[in-house]
């Protein structure tokens, strides 16, 4: 067998880089804007938080490029795509409004609140790393449709859906940029002069935005004003932060545990998505790498956990290798160090960036359906629904809580712990479709435990915050057991239960 040469960089990595860079850039921009709006000064945001996050991104992307090289050599092929790495959007919002804002509100001191955020990030990374112990077992025992369905829920709401809205904030420009993305990345047609589609879209969109005066030229000056020197500096400030987390702010630990568990489950789901596309990485190694990368970032001022990114599938579709990952890590380190992240975020309008993330959402949802048996499609759809509730809850709950409750009082409980709810309900339906009612009962029991302890359907970790949800899962599990023993055998003998039912969606 001829030994392959897995390149460090190829042409397809250019599109992969821009897609991943824009994914990470969008989160970095949201972090900067939100933290400053909350009350953190620019010196902490641009001087400590952004560089610390960039250290995590650099370490993780370099490590995943190394993992891709090992997999390519092991399987003797050159079409391996490195896992994408960055800050999880749902987790980012939890840390912003569940950790950083309460810490600042309670202490009144941005410096101390930032140190509390570092400590929270360090502890979150430790939980992520410990998740590697059970990661392989969870991956081997949870149905693929439930894992990919829960992930597709994130893609549909927070990634593709929300950024689709942002695309239409500048209709003419957004539509043109989106059309370029659809032609170049979905239909895979060549752009003029063979310029990568994502780069071509950004250039055309930005030029149009200023030419048509949809963006004010003063944004360019404002962006250039943020350019400076913000080197990543190691700090032990997390030690003081831990003293607060184990003392007056002990209640924040109730937020950290479930969201950290969510983070390593998200890593597991994204690794599973890549396996379904042909690149089968070790999920335990990925979870350990995420945890270590998060902890390293916290030692340089970072306050946000990192994870294998949902954009991995988009990069796989583009045909990227490992070069896009390496370049992304290096570029983010340089961009954060010299204030370019802030400058670019002010100069390039969001509707120009948004269509690239719409593509990521499309590719993730499409991959979910293309990776399971047709009869499991309904399980993917069901697993997506909790994130619809989570989206409404997180985006509108604070500003219009009464309106949300008037739509349905079930929206908020469904949105709380959405990843767990998606996994549980997706698994239950897979087992029902497979006529395995014993496993459906076990999944219901797991749902009862998660609901009873506050991991889902509750705003915080607490025992029986609302007993009705745990009771509902228990009763449902009992129903599955009764059906399995009292009716299933009889129906199977009569030929009314088929093992490989395929739904005809054209009827």
Paired tokens of 138? 């969870």
Q: pLDDT grade, residue 58 (50/70/90)? A: very high
Paired tokens of 162? 């929300």
65: number of Cβ within 10 Å: 22
pLDDT at 493: 60
Res 204 pLDDT > 80: yes
Res 488 pLDDT > 70: no
Q: Which of 181-195, 207-221, 258-272 has the lowest mean pLDDT?
A: 258-272
pLDDT at 449: 97
Residue 261 or residue 418, greater confidence: 418
For 2, list phi and psi in degrees, rounded to 5. Answer: -70, 130
Res 64 pLDDT > 90: yes
Look over the chain and give the mean of its residue pLDDT values, rounded to a whole number.
87
Q: Give the mean model confidence (pLDDT) for residues 462-487.
A: 93
Paired tokens of 60? 């993780």
pLDDT at 506: 46
pLDDT at 281: 93
pLDDT at 135: 67
Within 39-109, where are the H helices?
A: 42-44, 50-75, 89-95, 101-107
Burial 480-496, CB ≥16 within 10 A → b, else e? bbeebeeebeeeeeeee
Q: Which of 18-27, 96-105, 194-203 has the lowest mean pLDDT?
A: 18-27
pLDDT in tens, 429-468: 999 999 999 999 999 999 999 999 998 999 877 899 999 9
pLDDT at 491: 64
pLDDT in tens, 91-102: 787 788 778 888
Q: Are 148 and 269 in contact (CB under 8 A)?
A: yes
Q: Give the mean model confidence (pLDDT) for residues 118-142.
A: 84
pLDDT at 151: 79
Cα dist from 504 to 383, 428, 497, whole Å? 20, 21, 16
Task: Give the DSSP per-residue string, 255-282.
Answer: HHHHHHHHHHHHHHHHHHHHHHTT----
Res 234 pLDDT > 90: yes
pLDDT at 131: 80
Residue 376 or residue 137, greater confidence: 376
Q: Are 62 and 46 in contact (CB under 8 A)?
A: no
Cα dist from 418 to 69, 123, 262, 415, whole Å? 34, 22, 9, 5
pLDDT at 266: 78
Q: Are 147 and 423 in contact (CB under 8 A)?
A: yes
- For the chain, give the number of residues: 507
Distance CA 144, CA 273 (A): 8
- The helix (H) or strand (E) run that includes residue 307 is strand 306-308
Res 344 pLDDT > 80: no
pLDDT at 507: 43
Cα dist from 16 to 185, 269, 317, whole Å? 10, 20, 9
Which of these, 241, 154, 33, 190, lies nearest to 415 by C-alpha position?
Answer: 154
pLDDT in tens, 282-316: 988 999 999 999 999 999 999 999 988 767 888 88
Q: Give the mean model confidence (pLDDT) for residues 39-68.
A: 93
- How many percent of the chain have pLDDT more than 90? 44
Distance CA 221, CA 343 (A): 9
- How many percent of the chain have pLDDT more than 70? 93
pLDDT in tens, 250-275: 666 766 776 777 777 778 888 888 98
Can you give the pTM of this predicted structure? Answer: 0.74
Q: Give the mean model confidence (pLDDT) for residues 487-498.
A: 64
Which of these, 320, 382, 438, lies nearest to 148 by C-alpha position?
Answer: 382
Which of these, 290, 309, 325, lies nearest to 62 by C-alpha position?
Answer: 325
Cα dist from 496 to 235, 480, 491, 500, whole Å? 65, 17, 5, 12
Task: Give the DSSP per-residue string, 128-179.
Answer: HHHTHHHHHHHHHHS-HHHHHHHHHHHIIIIIIIHHHHHHTTSHHHHHHHHH
pLDDT at 505: 47
């Amino acid at each position: 067998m001829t030994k392959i040469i897995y390149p460090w960089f190829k042409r397809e990595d250019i599109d992969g880089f821009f897609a991943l860079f824009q994914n990470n850039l969008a989160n970095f921009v949201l972090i900067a804007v939100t933290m400053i709006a909350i009350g953190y000064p620019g010196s902490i945001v641009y001087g400590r938080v952004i560089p610390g996050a960039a250290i995590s991104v650099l370490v993780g992307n370099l490590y995943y490029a190394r993992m891709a090289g090992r997999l390519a050599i092991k399987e003797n092929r050159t079409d391996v795509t490195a896992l994408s790495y960055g800050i999880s959007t749902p987790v980012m919002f939890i840390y912003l409004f569940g950790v950083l804002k309460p810490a600042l509100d309670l202490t009144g001191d941005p410096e101390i609140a930032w140190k509390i955020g570092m400590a929270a990030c360090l502890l979150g990374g430790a939980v992520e790393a410990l998740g590697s112990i059970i990661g392989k077992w969870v991956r081997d025992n949870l149905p693929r449709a439930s894992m990919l369905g829960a992930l597709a829920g994130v893609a549909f709401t927070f990634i593709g859906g929300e950024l689709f809205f942002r695309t239409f904030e500048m209709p003419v420009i957004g539509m043109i940029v989106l059309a370029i993305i659809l032609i170049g990345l979905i239909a895979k047609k060549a752009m003029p002069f063979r310029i990568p589609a994502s780069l071509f879209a950004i250039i055309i969109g930005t030029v149009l935005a200023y030419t048509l005066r949809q963006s004010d030229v003063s944004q360019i000056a404002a962006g250039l004003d943020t350019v400076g020197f913000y080197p990543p500096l190691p700090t032990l400030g997390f030690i003081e932060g831990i003293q607060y987390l184990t003392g007056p702010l002990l209640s924040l630990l109730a937020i950290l545990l479930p969201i950290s568990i969510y983070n390593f489950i998200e890593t597991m789901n994204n690794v599973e998505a890549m396996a379904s596309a042909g690149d089968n990485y070790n999920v335990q190694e990925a979870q350990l790498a995420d945890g270590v990368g998060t902890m390293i970032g916290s030692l340089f001022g970072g306050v946000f956990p990192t994870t294998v990114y949902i954009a991995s599938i988009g990069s796989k579709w583009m045909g990227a290798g490992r070069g896009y990952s390496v370049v992304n890590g290096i570029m983010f380190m340089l961009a954060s160090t010299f204030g370019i992240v802030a400058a670019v975020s002010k100069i390039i309008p969001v509707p120009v960036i948004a269509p690239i993330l719409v593509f990521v959402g499309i590719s993730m949802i499409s991959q979910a359906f293309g990776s399971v048996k047709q009869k499991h499609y309904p399980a993917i759809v069901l697993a997506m629904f909790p994130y619809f509730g989570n989206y409404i809850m997180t985006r509108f709950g604070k500003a219009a809580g009464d309106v949300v409750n008037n739509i349905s009082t079930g929206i908020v409980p469904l949105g709380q712990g959405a990843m767990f709810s998606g996994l549980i309900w997706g698994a239950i339906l897979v087992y029902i479709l497979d006529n395995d009612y014993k496993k459906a009962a076990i999944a219901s029991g797991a749902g009862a435990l998660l609901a009873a302890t506050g991991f889902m359907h509750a705003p915080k970790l607490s025992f029986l915050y609302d007993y009705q949800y745990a009771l509902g899962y228990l009763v449902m599990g009992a129903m599955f057991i009764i059906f399995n023993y009292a009716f299933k055998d009889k129906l199977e003998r009569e030929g009314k239960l088929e093992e490989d039912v395929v739904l005809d969606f054209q009827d």
